[in-house]
Chains A and B, each alone.
Chain A
Amino acid sequence: MSATSTSVNGNGKYKVIGTRPIRPDGVDKVTGRALYGIDMNLTGMLYGQILRSPHPHARIRGIDTSKAAALEGVRAVVTAKDLPPAGADEVISLVEGTFRLTHLRSNILAGDKVLYQGHSVAAVAATSLHIAEEALRLIEVDYEILPDVVDVVAAMQEDAPLLHDDLTTQEFGEDSGKKSNIASHIQFKLGDLEKGFAESDIIVEEEFNTASVHQGYIESHNATAEWKTDGQLTVWTSTQGAFGVQKQTAGILGIPVSKVKVVPMEIGGGFGGKIPVYLAPQAALLSKLTGRAVKIVMTRTDVFQSTGPTPASYVKVKLGADKTGKLLAAEANIAFAAGAFPGSPIGAGAVCVFSCYDIPNGLVNGYDVVLNKPRSAAYRAPGSTQVNFAVETLVDEIAEKLGMDPIEIRLLNAAEEGMRRVDGAVYPRIGCRETLEQARAHEHYQTPLTGPHRGRGIATGFWMNAGLKSTVTASVNEDGTVNLMEGSTDIGGSRASIAMQFAEVLGLPAEAINPMVGDTSSVGYTELTGGSRVTFATGWAAYEAANEVKRILITKAALYWEAKVEEVRFEDGDFIHASDPEKRLSFKELASHLVDLGGPVVGTGAVDPDSGVGGSFTTCLADVEVDPETGKVKILRFTMVQDAGTAIHPSYVEGQMQGGSAQGIGWALNEEYFYSEGRMKNASFLDYRMPTCLDLPMIETVIVEVPHPQHPFGVRGVGEASIVPPPAAIANAIYDAVGVRLRDLPMRPDRIFSACLEKQAATVAT
């Protein structure tokens, strides 16, 4: 897989930004020296294992751990009884939402019920992994099997099995008091929907379903915990946010956050799935009981069955347009499968559903629904891909009915600065139109596609991006390099993108900056790596830290020349004596004198930028060839266009765009949790079919740079929006190829084949 890239605006005004230095963590990762969670090995360390429920829904009548505890080599066994009790109203507010403490604890160790296959029931620590596994077989759990529900629409029905006795539907701050699996209902309304549809010349309305899809990170979850006798707990783990793990672990264990230190190890992918904790509390409990460090590592089956996939969804959308293709009215009903506990990204789905278009009249109803699947987790633009599949398919249908070019109809309706979204927010400067214009001008779109059973599809997508809190600390070394400590775990090259923004301020080469990811005791509070926010917000913190370093170094230069501070200016990477320009010190030269110039030079940036509602837009083009005999889809060509704002490191922007595209293609064609009798039947990478390099075409990328109006360098964030439009683009391409509309993801060969047969039968009948 390779890429071409076109920077639309270019920048030309930066020395470091826009270049492609080698990533600081690259050598360690390609030589196998980087340390991941599974590499943890402490003296006397024990091995933990988790007993998981084989049933999707059952009451626990009793657990007998005595035989397991008696097995030689077993050091401790824990169940929910070892967790502190939580009040029904106690909540933990995390970046990804607010959760009842009872729910978080129940997900770590089930209390009176198991709510999904794979739900954690007990944990064992032993002197070897095999003894721990053997001990699991000796734990006797008395289950009372209960009826289960894994379909989101079925779970919403009044006669559906209820998962939680105390769950009632929340309506934007108000408790309905009604017991239900519908945890919350949100609604957005704009304009006059009835009037909009009455004025429409063409109306389309369809139902869509998408499957549960896993993030598929290559590194499975892991945690090593050591709870020392002084009450200090240290956790080494793979996570997207060390401070989030700290807060969750402390909350679940009922201890102060100051007692928990979290060390983020290198991370082998996350995509949203490594925000929740799954193992740290159990490892901590086992460590407390044994006085030894305890390591737990999930198997791939555990990862599939017990950690959050993206929610499956039911989406019904109705669109109305006039004869020119102008969209006049839009309505959506969206239900997301939250899994066993509330907290799907239904709010984001409801915001994103009509976000690409200027539609004056709209109504969106969104439902967060619990059912007997693992608790869902964020997954790259969470909630946006599901709803985009529905809307972008229908926009394509309207274009076809009106005989319009699919890009022209999108340009006619494209979201722009000043547009009011259905949730009421008004866009600042955004780049939706620019991505469409670049797609239209691209050689891919300008080149006719020929051949039987071949088709081209297009779709546009949106993700809102986030701001949030970040801290960076910079320390100047006497050799002119800088140690840069940051709190954002590096998933996609952010060490480089943060260091480059620091270097740009001071006119330094990127290689002079040594970026490091700190633990919760060595760096200021920093929120998760997610929401496409790290290059935006932590980069902003680096900008602030660099400016502080610059201010301090100006005072040092003044001291060196025995001049006034006002007489020193910083220009083009040098410190210059204003009244004697012959006196000039480079950053490196000044750093070499610091030993004689007073205290150390340390700069800190601590920011909490408002994220804005502009976010990032993408448009993608997909060419496919469909085998009507088998329903197999081959992707012939694929181009992703994204508004990145200013592209700090274009290679990593392209990498994000390609990664998101690859995952979107997986959603489109292959990936799904396949359930039978409430149990996942394909919990391995052999049976859960993610795209491989053999399935993917060259993914071409076009970076559009519409700078973020508030960010010092115009960064927008690029990590997520590229996953959004591929399923719809591929669905539209399949229609263009063989004339069948697919409304369920994934668009498996059997579904396409069946649709082709039905089309043939209908043709024969007429």
Chain B
Amino acid sequence: MDVSLLIAQFMSGLSRGMMLFLIASGLSLIFGVMNILNFAHATLWLVGAYCCYTFWYVLQESALGLWVSIGLAAIALAVIGWIIEVILIRRVYDRDLPEQLLLTYAMVLIVGDLIKLTWGVEDRIIVRPNLVSGPIFLFDIPLDSYFIVVILVGISVAIGLWLFLQKTRYGHIVRAAVFSREMVSALGIPIPRIYTGVFVLGIFIAGLAGAVQAPVGSITLGMDMAIIIQAFCVVVIGGFGSLLGTLVGSIIVGEVYAFSILFWPQGALVLIFIVTAVILIVRPWGLFGTPMRV
């Protein structure tokens, strides 16, 4: 086994892990604060990818077309997230878990078909700008240069979220809400507004992730289905509501996937589910979560 192959595989696992982190962090945040497991998270991520394609298609003449479209797509998704929150999610705050789960599952079907109606069934491909189209060489090992973009975006979002949660007043409120919503609302903080903010933030990150994903390969219908289950696995492994846990969990899943492709290709996904099941059984609250809420 060649060392350069291992390093290349490690980098590809890292970029995959970072993509999973971008999806799972929003998922984990929304679940941690609102106690709603958003099945439609990856479907909205896919909407982000398609939006990015459309913006890029309009702007492709300009030099910064792709980068501007990524930003626009993320903002568009934040707006969509806000609309969904106000119209649908707000109505099921105090419903039972199965009903909330079903509502977001129904959203998967609805949004999935709306994507089909809007963008059609054929695959969409974004032609990358020169800056990220060729390979770059790390210790003479050729790597896809776009991997670096994905990893950088992942790291910046991780740092940004960490700063937000640790250093700002709103971040403190969100962290407090993860532990006890009753206490936060007793302090006179309007919980519904916090919920809306968290949901919009989560969908914004998902949209950003989708837009960043768009130039990686072709954008295909149904891409969201495989990724949402893996994002669940990440959140379970890391622990609901824990940012560090989500980061570690996504790197674990990304690397397990990348290396099992190398050594045991049939078992790549099986292995991820086994790891998830073991963690759920031994430590249901995940590696970094706290066993507070039952």
- A and B form one complex: no
- B contact set with A: CB distance below 8 Å: none
